[in-house]
Structure 1
Amino acid sequence: MLIESRRRAYLSAMQVVHWLPRAELPFAAPSRPELLLPQAPVEEVEPEALAPAPAAAPVAPQARSIERPKIEIPRPASSVKPAAKPAETEAEPVVRAAPVPPPRFALQLLRAGGCLVLVELATGQPFQSRDPSYLLLKDMLRAAGLPDAPQIIGEPIRWPLLVRGNMDQGPEAARDFVQGFIQARLEESPCTCLWLIGLPALRFAAQAEAPAYYQELQVEALGTAWALPGLELLMDEPQRKADVWQAMRQLMARWKSVE
């Protein structure tokens, strides 16, 4: 049996304000007589009747809807993105051209009458009076009607100039150096024909290759030049001397006409 204080605590917890027991409860407080009277039935009222009548005042602006407008974002047809190509995601490596090694050669410039002779030194050493290659050169000059004791001009041109250093010593630099050296000698004393003996002399003075052997060339800033095989090649292949002699006969008048 519950005492009155505990019963009221339970009823308050269940939010029951008014209640009537079915039978007399022991230890309960006396009931109030007005609560035992029958209550009048409560009429149901329509919801519209409970709403207040519209006022005559001007209609207030409608409040903005709390819902945010939906923005349609266009989607691609396929939800799966294609894999990126390696070329698009990774930068292509920069390919640098390999440095061109400097050419290696030795050239000697000589003067024989009205001609300058730029000849390859196969051994890299200056001519000696009894060298077979120098004796062959003397024979060629004698056959051409030129002095067979040519004057040596300056020291041999040896390339590369420096063993170490950052100076450009590639083919272009070598060509500029050789041509500049010959131009300086031509300013001191012009010549009627420049003999280019050997592939390095032909390549770095006239920008020509072996197919130009035995031909007459016109070189800018150097004038007329005659391309010849190297002295060592003429000694190894004696049959080339006939081609040299045939070409020489056609050009001999050029330097013989000069007194």
Structure 2
Amino acid sequence: MQVVSWLPRTELPFAAPSRPELLVLPEPPAEPVITRPVAKVAIAPSPPVARPKIEVPRPSVTPRPASKAVADVEAAPVKAKAVLLPPPRFALQLLRAGRCLVLVELPTGSAFQSRDPAYLLLKDMLRAAGLPDSPQIIGEPVRWPLLRRGSVDQGPEAAREFVQGFLMARLEEAECACLWLVGLPAVRFASEANAEAFNSELEIEGLGSAWALPGLELLMDEPQRKADVWQAMRRLMARWKQNDE
């Protein structure tokens, strides 16, 4: 069995004493330690992670040309908002005396009566001018505004267009040597003149020759104005007298 020595675990009775050298157990041979060379690997530090660069668009220094529509709006002049003026108030009566038409302001707004002081003054003026002193009334008085209510424009321009259109229609019916405009409303809305044109001759497009006179009520309140009217009448009288001949 190839047993070199055997030692009992306990002391056997009546057994011879064991030799001391036999009690020493031989140490197993040490296994050779194989040392493997460890390769040194140089670990380079990892490069920092590059963050993606985000380009933020910035406005160009050179301004972009504006579109044509925007340029037209910017270049267009700012128009002032139109202001609606209140409608003027007046009453006018048209009469015919010989070859003259007379557009006269009605001082009271009502039609002339035969004994009205203003109508009597008008008859005197016609007689002094060599015209019939009983003029023919043409149509109803022209009163403005036409409508008491409503959104229709009844300002000064609309009134002027209406009065001029009314006179043009009457002038087509018969010849007129001179148009008398008696009173400020007649002067203002049959033409574009004002009180400064009193006692002067006007040339109105579409209406021909006209004579601007102060109102009958103003002549009665300020009789000194009659002298200026008479002087102007003498200068213009030949116009309608030549037509009578």
Q: Output the TM-score relative to the length of structure 1.
A: 0.68
Question: 1:28 maps to which residue?
Answer: none
* Paired residues for 1:149-168 under 5 Å: 149-168=134-153
- Larger-gyration structure (1/2): 2
- Give the Cα separation in 2 of the matches to 1:98 and 1:196: 29
- Going from structure 1 to structure 2, the CA distance change for 1:157 and 1:45 (only over 3 Å counts) comes to same
* Paired residues for 1:1-259 under 5 Å: 40-41=34-35, 43-47=37-41, 67-71=51-55, 96-259=81-244
- Going from structure 1 to structure 2, the CA distance change for 1:42 and 1:72 (only over 3 Å counts) comes to farther
- Give the Cα separation in 2 of the matches to 1:220 and 1:75: 61
- Going from structure 1 to structure 2, the CA distance change for 1:183 and 1:67 (only over 3 Å counts) comes to same
- Give the Cα separation in 1 of the matches to 2:113 and 2:207: 28
Consecutive unaligned residues in structure 2, runs of 5 or more: 1-27, 44-48, 61-78
CA-CA distance at 1:44 after TM superposition: 3.4
- Going from structure 1 to structure 2, the CA distance change for 1:45 and 1:235 (only over 3 Å counts) comes to same
- Going from structure 1 to structure 2, the CA distance change for 1:189 and 1:72 (only over 3 Å counts) comes to closer
CA-CA distance at 1:165 after TM superposition: 2.6
Deviations 1:114-146 (A, max 9, x none): 100000012100011111111111111111111
CA-CA distance at 1:211 after TM superposition: 0.7
- Give the Cα separation in 1 of the matches to 2:114 and 2:57: 95
One-letter amino acid of the counterpart of residue 118, structure 2:
S
CA-CA distance at 1:236 after TM superposition: 0.8
- Going from structure 1 to structure 2, the CA distance change for 1:75 and 1:43 (only over 3 Å counts) comes to farther
Deviations 1:66-113 (A, max 9, x none): 85345365599xxxxxxxxxxxxxxxxx98544211111000000111
* 3-state secondary structure, aligned to 1:257: helix
CA-CA distance at 1:241 after TM superposition: 0.5
- Give the Cα separation in 2 of the matches to 1:218 and 1:95: 32
Over the aligned positions, Cα root-mean-square deviation in angstroms equals: 2.8
- Give the Cα separation in 2 of the matches to 1:235 and 1:211: 19
- Total equivalences in the alignment: 193
- Give the Cα separation in 2 of the matches to 1:97 and 1:126: 36
- Give the Cα separation in 1 of the matches to 2:107 and 2:232: 23
Deviations 1:12-47 (A, max 9, x none): xxxxxxxxxxxxxxxxxxxxxx9x978555533122
- Give the Cα separation in 2 of the matches to 1:95 and 1:250: 45
One-letter amino acid of the counterpart of residue 68, structure 1:
P
Residue range with higher mean Cα deviation, 195-204 or 176-185: 176-185
CA-CA distance at 1:251 after TM superposition: 0.4
- Give the Cα separation in 2 of the matches to 1:254 and 1:146: 12
One-letter amino acid of the counterpart of residue 131, structure 1:
D
One-letter amino acid of the counterpart of residue 150, structure 1:
P
Consecutive unaligned residues in structure 1, runs of 5 or more: 1-33, 51-64, 77-93
* 3-state secondary structure, aligned to 2:121: helix
- Going from structure 1 to structure 2, the CA distance change for 1:73 and 1:113 (only over 3 Å counts) comes to closer
